[in-house]
A and B are shown apart, each in its own frame.
Chain A
Amino acid sequence: MPVNGQENRPGFPPQGMVSLWVVLFVVWMAANSTPAIEVALLGAAVTFALAYAFAASSEAWRRIRWTPAGFYHFLAYTGTFLVELVKANLAMMRIVYSPRIDIRPGIVRVRTRLRSPIGRLALANTIALTPGSLVLDLKDDVLYIHWIDVRSTDVEVVSAAMAGSFEEHLEQIFG
Chain B
Amino acid sequence: MIELIGSLFILAGAVFLFSAGLGLLRMPDAYTRIQAGTKATTLGNMLVLAGLAFYHPGWIFKLILVIYFVLMTNPVSSHALSRAAYRIRTPMTSATMADALAEDDAGGDGAPPEGSARGGPPGERTGR
Taking CB as reference atom, which chain A residue is nearest B65?
A30
Instruction: Kindly identify which residue among B23, B26, B75, B101 contacts A107, using a CB–CB cutoff of 8 Å.
Output: B101
- Name the residue on A nearest B25 (C-beta): A96
User: Which chain B residues have a beta carbon within 8 Å of chain A's beta carbons?
Assistant: 16, 19, 22-23, 26-29, 31-32, 34-36, 38-40, 42-43, 58-59, 61-62, 64-65, 71-72, 74-76, 78-79, 82-83, 86, 92-93, 95-102, 104, 111-112, 114
Q: Is A104 an interface residue (CB 8 A)?
A: yes
By a beta-carbon cutoff of 8 Å, the part of chain A in contact with chain B is 27, 29-31, 33, 85-86, 88-89, 92-93, 95-97, 101, 103-109, 124-126, 128-129, 132-137, 139-140, 142, 144, 146, 148, 150, 153
Of the A-B pairs whose beta carbons lie under 8 Å apart in the complex, a sample of 25, sorted by A's number, is A27-B65, A29-B61, A30-B62, A31-B62, A33-B58, A85-B39, A89-B39, A93-B16, A95-B23, A95-B36, A96-B27, A103-B32, A104-B96, A105-B92, A105-B96, A106-B98, A107-B100, A129-B38, A129-B74, A129-B75, A134-B34, A134-B78, A136-B79, A136-B82, A137-B83
Q: What number of residue pairs across chains A and B have CB atoms under 8 A from each other?
A: 135
Residues of chain B with a CB closer than 8 A to A95's CB: 23, 27, 36
Asked whether B40 lies within 8 Å of A93 as measured between CB atoms, the reply is yes
**Residue in A103, A104, A139 whose CB lies within 8 Å of B112:** A139
Known contacts A96-B36, A124-B75; decide if A30 and B61 are in contact (CB<8 Å). yes
What's the nearest-Cβ distance from chain A to residue B125, in Å?
13
